[in-house]
Copies of this chain bind each other. A is one copy, B any other.
Amino acid sequence: MTTDEPAAGVSTDPLVDALVRNAFQVMGVLTRVGAEHDLSLTQLRVLGLLRDRRPRMTELATFLGLDKSTMSGLIDRAERRGLLARGKSAEDRRAVDVFLTAAGLELTERLYGEVRAALLPATGRLDPEQRHRLTELIEPVLSPVTGAGEPSPKRTPARRPELAAD
């Protein structure tokens, strides 16, 4: 232990620190919950996204910030486990869209519950009033980085807070 203090000249933004720490904490929970079901963080995210969507491979990849080729492998493995399936798009015969199977949906719901439960010890430290205020304060921070409002005029009726967004 070199020093104990917050590194002297180090620029330190309390909010940034809190956000980063919180992010790692949440990711830790997600990772653990996922691991209990043999699911990686990314798989978890994919499932969350598919909860109410039926996107194409490329949409998925873009949304997750991954390469198309990465998606192939990811979907391959999940499909092999029967959690989701590939379908042919009617509009574009090149396109492949992905959707949860019944088993996948069921698992996803269970996972969501587990995540909530796992976060409870943390979120439970706030009273309902505080929880509400925190939620509202975070809202504006959630950037629409992906901005592109899905040119697809088909599905996606209203955007919803998903287990995995942005």
Residues A95-135 near B (CB distance < 8 A): 99-100, 102, 105, 109, 112-113, 115-116, 118-119, 121-123, 125-126, 130-131, 133-135
Copies in the complex: 2
Contacts of A16 in B (CB 8 A): 115-116, 119, 123
Among candidates B11, B109, B164, residue contacting A24 with C-beta atoms closer than 8 Å: B164
How many A residues face the partner with a CB closer than 8 A?
Answer: 77
In contact, B105 and A121 (Cβ under 8 angstroms) = no
Among candidates B15, B23, B135, B142, residue contacting A131 with C-beta atoms closer than 8 Å: B15
User: CB-nearest residue of chain B relative to A165?
Assistant: B21
Contacts of A126 in B (CB 8 A): 137, 140-141
**Residue contacts A-B, CB under 8 angstroms, 8 given:** A1-B155, A2-B52, A11-B116, A16-B119, A18-B135, A21-B142, A32-B146, A125-B141
Binding site for B on A (CB under 8 A): 1-7, 10-32, 45, 51-54, 65, 99-100, 102, 105, 109, 112-113, 115-116, 118-119, 121-123, 125-126, 130-131, 133-135, 137-143, 145-146, 148, 155, 157-158, 160-166
